[in-house]
Structure formats: structure tokens, C-alpha cells
Structure 1
């Protein structure tokens, strides 16, 4: 009743159905991982804000990530950099980063916010006012800005300081500026500097993975249904 071709089709059906089902379970696992990480992030954001004294040891524990900070110090505007091709609210512009020296010595690299690119002059860096003297900074501890693909290594700067950059590495930037960099912060308090600070919120994105999982499971089931319809039911009706 069943030919060699039928068994080949059966094997292919089981293979496709198995792979798509496995991808569905993988997406469910991704959703669970994202929910766990999001719960950790939310819990850390509810912890007391880090103060100047917490940074005195020069050590940044891993569990400080996403914690808030309430700090006193001063900006070091001579080392301000603009990260190119960064988006916010679906627009392309620059992330503005400036080192912030705490009153007790250590330095943090602060993502101050985003500024739009000048449409007429794409290479123009919009000036950003920086408060002088002692100021109070609110922010949260975050990883360094994501790295964008660069075509080749960036050209070395022979003289002066390179304000416009594609990427930035905290350790390398510390060596370049000879500043004791400890961590990266995202500024969250309002300031009259014209920068946009609509940073991404802590949303797990697990629902998207569950949606992908449903699609994979549906494809797995459809593969079996089509085989049963065309290779079993239809053939029996013609027997």
C-alpha cells in the first residue's frame, strides 16, 4: 500500500515537524529567560540609590547593573564625545557622553542623552551646554552603548581629541583620557541642556517570543495535518 516515496515523505514530514516544534520550545525558553532578567532589573531599580561613598572602593559589583544612583560631582566637558548613528524616537542623531567626576575622585562615563542630527550639515555637532562646578546627577548603571559595525579600524587621532565616534569602549576611553573610569551611567534627571532622555524601559519582550513560539508550533502541526490529509486520508479514499 505504501511505496518507498511515501516513506520518504513521512520521514521529511517528521523531520520538519520536529525541527519546528523544537524551535517553538526554544522560543518559550527565550521568553522565560527574558522574564527572569526583567524581574531582576525591576527589583534592582527598586533598591536604594547608590551614593558617592558606594563608589569609593573602585569596585563595581555586577549586581549594580540597572540600579539607580544619586551622585554629587562635576562634569569634565573637555572629554565629551558624540556617538554617531544613534536613534531615539525613530530619528537618527547622536548620543552625547561626558565623564562625570565624583566629589570623592572616581569617574563615571555618563550617557547624557540624545540630540538630533542637523539635516543640512550632517557632520555638524550640535553644541550641548554643560553645567559648571558641583552638580547633582541622577541616573542608573547600564552597560556601555551597543557597538555598531565599523568598516575597518577607526583612524588614529594624531592631534587633539576625537569628538565624533562610532563606538566607545570604557576601558580604552579611560586609558586615552587618563581618567579612572569605573562604569557607565544613563542620566535620568531633567537638565536644561536640550538633550532627549527617552531611554528604553524595562520591558521583557517575552510576549514577542511567545508569538514566535505559537507560529512554530502551528507550522509543526500544519505539517502533520497536511501529511495526514494528502498521504493517508486521500489515499484511503482511493483504495
Structure 2
């Protein structure tokens, strides 16, 4: 059987690339499974108390935390396009001045959006004076799709996203490099029915099987094409 080297090399290249991509997606799935195990472990771990000492995001993310201090309502930011049970609304993100020094951003909860006037903020309560809050340390206050800078420009009350370091530079506040996703009830009228962290491991396994399916299809089609080519009678010599 005469082998056509160029098509054969093309098939081998496709198989090699798609098999490698399948293994890459498998490795990503394993990494996310390990992260999910850490999240579950941190949920059962003792609460970590926040003070003046800064934490790194790597050592505090997904841990339960407790903080004592007072909210800074004059620097509140409302994150737009955060639906809850198919109802549009905002996340209320507010700096919290720690009693022992320093500040931390707190995602206080969800607030419904006015149906007729999207920039109208519904009333809610902000505790005055020193209080204690609990929550989960997260890298940010959630992220929504954003074209360009969108609503994240400085000095806007309503924004699409909020970067912790950029907001620290904007306000001059000595912020911890994470956001507390508040879980404790402060009787403020905000909804704190937070979605469970989703690492998307099922999607990675789905991509893995897709890539390996493409590799298998390339092998089958390559063998089929080679078999048809071998069955063709040789061209008659003139």
C-alpha cells in the first residue's frame, strides 16, 4: 500500500495536538478539583480574625473571616448587572474601617434595581458605629462581562466591576487585597443568598472528551482515506 506522506503527517499532527489539548483540559479539571477540596476545607476551618496586619490573597482567599470596625458609606460602590432569581439588581460594596487599623472592602449583599429608573438606588440600612461582621474572603466582589472600561471609570457610583488595587489607588485607602463576602446579618435589608463557588470542572471534562473525540475521528477518517486510496487501481500507463 502506497502511503501519501503529506496527508498522513497532517492526520498525525491533528491527533497529536488534540490529544495534548485533551490532557491539558484534564489537568485543569484536576487543579479545579483540588481547589474545590480546599474551599470545602476552608469552610470548616476556624474563623480568621482581621486586624492591622495585611494578608496576601493566596493565604486568605475562601477562608471564613471576622472583622470589627465601621462601614464607610460615603465611599460605597454599586456593582450593576448582578441578577438574583432573574431580577436585576446591584451588589452593594462598601469599605470597612478596621478597629485595629487598615480597611477592607465588603460585598454587603444584593439590592434590587428600580424597574423604571436604573440609576435609582433602593433604600437600605447601614449600621453606624463599631460592629462585627463575618464572611468569606474572595478575590473580588464578583465580575461581570465588561466592554472596555464600561462602568469602572473612577468616581462613578454605579460600576460594572471593581478592582481592589485600582480602588485603593483611587481612594487612597490602605485596603486588604481581597473582598469580604458578608454572611452575617446586620438587619440592613440586603440579600445575602450567595451562590456557591463554581469552579466549572464539568466544563473542563467536557472539553477533554471533545478534544479526544476529534483525535479519534481524525484517526478513523485517516485510516478510511488510506484504505480507499489503497483500493484505487493504479493509473494506466500511456
TM-score (structure 1 length as normaliser): 0.82
Equivalent-residue separation in structure 2 for 1:69 and 1:180 (angstroms): 18
Task: Please tell me whether residue 168 in structure 1 is matched to residue 162 in structure 2.
Answer: yes
4+ residue segments displaced more than 6 Å:
none
Equivalent-residue separation in structure 2 for 1:155 and 1:174 (angstroms): 14
Equivalent-residue separation in structure 2 for 1:155 and 1:55 (angstroms): 30
Deviation at 1:70, TM superposition (A): 2.4
Deviation at 1:127, TM superposition (A): 2.5
Task: Please tell me whether residue 111 in structure 1 is matched to residue 146 in structure 2.
Answer: no
Deviation at 1:65, TM superposition (A): 1.3
Asked if the contact 1:42–1:202 (Cα under 8 Å) also holds between the matched residues in 2, the reply is no
Name the counterpart of 1:133.
Answer: 129
Structure 1's 8 and 173: CA in aligned 2 closer, same or farther, altered over 3 A?
Answer: closer
Asked if the contact 1:144–1:170 (Cα under 8 Å) also holds between the matched residues in 2, the reply is yes
Give the 3-state SS of the residue equivalent to 2:2 in structure 1: coil
Structure 1's 30 and 163: CA in aligned 2 closer, same or farther, altered over 3 A?
Answer: same
Deviation at 1:226, TM superposition (A): 1.6
Deviation at 1:115, TM superposition (A): 2.0
Task: Please tell me whether residue 224 in structure 1 is matched to residue 219 in structure 2.
Answer: yes
Alignment match of 2:97 (pick from 92, 97, 101)? 101
Please give the per-residue CA displacement for 1:196-221, whole angstroms capped at 9, x wherever unaligned.
Answer: 32333234332321121111111101
Deviation at 1:235, TM superposition (A): 4.3
Alignment match of 2:39 (pick from 35, 38, 41)? 41
Equivalent-residue separation in structure 1 for 2:126 and 2:172 (angstroms): 21
Equivalent-residue separation in structure 2 for 1:156 and 1:238 (angstroms): 70
Compute the RMSD of aligned alpha carbons: 2.6
Alignment match of 2:210 (pick from 201, 207, 215)? 215
Name the counterpart of 2:236.
Answer: none
Asked if the contact 1:94–1:116 (Cα under 8 Å) also holds between the matched residues in 2, the reply is yes
Tell me the number of residue pairs that the alignment of Structure 1 and Structure 2 aligns. Answer: 229
Structure 1's 71 and 152: CA in aligned 2 closer, same or farther, altered over 3 A?
Answer: closer
Deviation at 1:25, TM superposition (A): 0.8
